[in-house]
Copies of this chain bind each other. A is one copy, B any other.
Amino acid sequence: MTYRSAGLFIIGTELTRGVIADKHCQLLANQLTRLGYHVERMVVVPDDGSIATVLSQAVERCDLLILTGGLGPTSDDLTRSVVAQLANVDLVRDQESFDRLYSRIGERIWGANEQQTMIPAGFVAIANPNGTAAGFRGTIQIDGREIVCIALPGPPREMDPMFYDEVLPYLANLAGHDSFDRSEYSTFLIPEAKLEELCRQASFNGLQWGTRFQDLKISLYLVGGSLEERTTMANRLKESVGPSLIADGDVSAASLLTDELLKRGETISCAESCTAGLAATLLTDQSGSSAWFWGGVSSYANEAKRTMLAVSQETLDTDGAVSERCAIEMAEGMRSRSQTHWAFSITGIAGPDGGSAQKPVGTVCFGFSGEGRASEAVTVRMSSYGRASVRRKAATVALLLMARYIDGCSLLDTVSKWQYI
């Protein structure tokens, strides 16, 4: 049979008291939707056993039930017994889960933790690499209908890998997908609606895709098919947006650059005006960043550009602070001061004030300087969704373009495909 209609059940009193926000619904709903499931409802209930009522109300309309939470060792944690009751089976010890937990906590397993190794009879345990509670999955017969039921622990760092590694492939199979391998990519600066459109255009052979917002990027998952097919689709996407906006794996714009610097054993510095330190902050997000990052200057005032970076008064007078000439002088001034292998600069109009017809808000100039290399500058005009957005995009652009410059690629060609950022 095919399972089409899903219900999600999130258990946790800290959620219904508003102490923390639910992290699972969007992830689960997004992935299930991609697989062709219709999510009928998502229900959050406290740890008080009311999950029993809610579940029994849902079985009528759902043929897939996913529960998170309520698998802990305390008496509030009732998910196991509620599912066993619904399935009309006993709770039995899963020996593998027991052995695994025993090897970790020894004799302390007796007592509360022991129940964390129990699952409804006939169910299959799902190993939890990051916690003590095993998950489980199985089928329940109700009124002649077969319902799939999956229970996972609540903490995202336990739930997420269990879902991706075990549950998602299992569900893909149930939903009629032969294969459920997937590849992950990181996309930068592409608006969500645009990414969706690009995926539709590049899709073929029934490949599915999913996206997930992260801080300065959107993660893209291509699902199903062969690795070759997924790579082909990814290459089509990369071609349509030009290089550097879509990278393989789960990476940040900063790490693309700093990994390259680390590999080369080279150092960098940066001069920032409108971003005022944001790019430097990103370059030092990782531990060990002193290997590549020398330092930077936030040259906000024109005088700061002159005294700390040796930008000429003439450039400021004729071309202005937001100009390619100023960007180049900033990058060169920074590198001559720091003696790093590479330096870049950012100077632009973050808004909301300060724009003009010639240089509207969102206009940002970037300069690049390298040992024994001709300096380069480019200007990017970003659509402005507010000051914070322009600054975040500008820092990301600088990191991506710096990596291109180090690679010896044409920056103008690169940005020519970025009209929509």
Contacts and interface: CB of A to CB of B under 8 A. Distances in A.
A16 B29 CA distance: 6
23 contacts: A16-B29, A16-B39, A17-B33, A20-B26, A38-B46, A41-B43, A41-B44, A42-B43, A42-B44, A43-B44, A276-B280, A276-B283, A277-B298, A278-B281, A285-B387, A285-B388, A287-B354, A295-B297, A295-B308, A297-B297, A298-B298, A304-B338, A307-B338
A375 to B, nearest CB: 21
Within the oligomer, what is the number of copies of this chain? 2
Contact of A18 (B15, B31, B295, B387): B31
B290 A295 contact: no
A303 interface: yes
Contacts of A17: 29-30, 33, 39
A300 B286 CA distance: 13
A22 B22 contact: yes
Contacts of A296: 276-277, 297-298, 300
A294 interface: yes
Given A277-B272, A298-B277, A338-B304, A43 B43 contact: yes
Contacts of A41: 16, 43-45, 50, 54
A357 interface: no
Given A17-B33, A18-B29, A269-B304, 13 more contacts: A17-B29, A17-B39, A18-B39, A21-B26, A25-B44, A40-B45, A42-B43, A274-B284, A276-B277, A277-B277, A281-B281, A290-B301, A308-B308
Which of A28, A272, A298, A303 has the most B CB atoms < 10 Å from its CB?
A: A298
A45 B54 CA distance: 14
Contacts of A297: 295-298, 308
Contacts of A50: 40-41, 61
Interface residues of A, number: 72
Which of A295, A350, A352, A353 has the most B CB atoms < 10 Å from its CB?
A: A295
A287 to B, nearest CB: 5
